[in-house]
């Protein structure tokens, strides 16, 4: 049943992806300025050759010349859009317009693991810190512990992530010289600051949600019964309260993935991490059509998978919710 549901959702996602790809394609073609417009103009014949190589010598969406010649099918096929789609279906994103000797797929394969690693550590950090914080806050409801941790939580949601990153770098790298101020290497010390800076916002989101959830569960009748039977506070919290409060927290993968992706744009910029977000920013500025397209597709697939996962998780953790 679940498998059928997942397959159905994936099938619906295909037209959505197609729409996204088409819109991105059109956006990039509408804006003035092409990838080969540089400060120093290229010799016309070189530019013409380059444009031929990248299919840019064809019209964008329809080829009126072919229409007037009576080739009605080529009206659609002899276009940049059709060529791009044809290559895309074959899994070929083409060469990068900016780094002409490299293929977009290679650039993505190189930078995606970096972004995933950063994002995964940040999510892990968020759960490890956010859940205990939320439990503590709810258990000491309306005490100074609650107020302090909730003040930190709301600060975590409102602090711009570049400010967190810069403060961390200033103290840990520049003042105390404990950790490197940037770059991404295999060493553990390179990961601490970016992961913490990226993770603060998710920590805050999880802590707030966990607190609300625990407060909700604590009022339930079965908790009162357990208390009345004389169950000690610690096993009560662990076995009955926390277990049941985790349900809504597990299911926030969607907003969490979105927060991590958004955050990674700033964090990869500040720490000079060679991930996808950094490539995307550069690609947009360079009008690197193919690279923008590739990165957009990867991010969209991520979001789609995250959304489906959320809906499936809902029904797994709470069997009362039916998938439809």
Q: Which of 167, 183, 220, 238 binds another protein (CB under 8 A)?
A: 167
Residues 265-324 that bind another protein (CB under 8 A): 265-266, 269-270, 280-281, 284-285, 292, 295-296, 299-300, 302-304, 307
Query: Distance between CA 150 and CA 207 in Å, rounded?
Result: 8
Q: What are phi and psi of 79, to 5 degrees?
A: -135, 160
Contact call for residue 19 and another protein (CB under 8 A): yes
Contact call for residue 159 and another protein (CB under 8 A): yes
Contact call for residue 181 and another protein (CB under 8 A): yes
Q: Which of 65, 67, 160, 235 binds another protein (CB under 8 A)?
A: 160
Cβ-based nearer residue to another protein, 129 or 204: 204
Cβ-based nearer residue to another protein, 88 or 288: 288
Least Cα distance to 211 among 154, 151, 255, 146 occurs for 146
Query: Distance between CA 148 and CA 145 in Å, rounded?
Result: 5
In our burial notation (b when 16+ CB lie closer than 10 A, e otherwise), range 286-302 reads ebbbbbbbbbbbbbbeb
DSSP SS3 for 105: helix
- Show the binding pattern over residues 77-116: x = contacts another protein (CB under 8 A), - = does not: ----------------------------------------
Residues 136-155 that bind another protein (CB under 8 A): 154-155
Kindly give the residue spans of alpha helices, DSSP state H, lying in the chain. Answer: 2-30, 44-53, 64-68, 74-77, 80-89, 104-139, 144-158, 161-168, 189-218, 221-228, 233-235, 243-250, 253-270, 276-286, 289-317
Q: Are 200 and 166 in contact (CB under 8 A)?
A: no
Binding site for another protein (CB under 8 A): 13, 16, 19-20, 23-24, 27-28, 30-31, 154-155, 157-163, 166-167, 169-170, 174, 181, 212, 258, 261-262, 265-266, 269-270, 280-281, 284-285, 292, 295-296, 299-300, 302-304, 307
């Amino acid at each position: 049943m679940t498998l059928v549901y997942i397959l159905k959702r994936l099938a619906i996602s295909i037209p959505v992806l197609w729409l996204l790809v088409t819109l991105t394609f059109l956006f990039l073609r509408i804006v003035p300025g092409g990838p080969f417009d540089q400060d120093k103009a290229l010799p016309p014949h070189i530019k013409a050759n380059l444009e031929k190589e990248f299919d840019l010598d064809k019209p964008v969406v329809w080829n009126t010349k072919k229409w007037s010649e009576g080739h009605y099918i080529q009206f659609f096929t002899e276009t940049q859009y059709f060529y791009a789609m044809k290559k895309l279906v074959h899994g070929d994103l083409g060469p990068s317009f900016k780094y002409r000797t490299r293929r977009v797929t290679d650039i993505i394969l190189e930078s995606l693991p970096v972004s995933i690693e950063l994002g995964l550590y940040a999510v892990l950090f968020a759960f490890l810190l956010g859940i205990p914080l939320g439990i503590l806050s709810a258990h000491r409801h309306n005490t100074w512990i609650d107020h302090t941790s909730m003040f930190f939580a709301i600060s975590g949601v409102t602090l711009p992530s570049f400010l967190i990153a810069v403060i961390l770098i200033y103290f840990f790298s520049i003042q105390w010289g404990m950790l490197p101020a940037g770059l991404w290497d295999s060493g553990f010390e390179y990961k601490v600051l970016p992961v913490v800076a990226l993770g603060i916002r998710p920590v805050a989101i999880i802590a707030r949600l966990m607190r609300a959830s625990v407060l909700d569960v604590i009022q339930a009748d079965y908790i009162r019964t357990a208390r009345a039977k004389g169950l000690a506070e610690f096993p009560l919290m662990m076995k009955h309260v926390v277990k049941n409060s985790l349900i809504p927290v597990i299911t926030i993968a969607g907003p969490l993935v979105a927060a991590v992706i958004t955050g990674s744009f700033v964090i990869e910029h500040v720490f000079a991490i060679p991930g996808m977000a950094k490539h995307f920013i550069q690609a947009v500025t360079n009008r690197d059509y193919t690279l923008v397209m590739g990165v957009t597709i990867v991010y969209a697939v991520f979001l789609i998978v995250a959304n489906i996962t959320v809906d499936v998780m809902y029904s797994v953790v709470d069997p009362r919710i039916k998938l439809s």
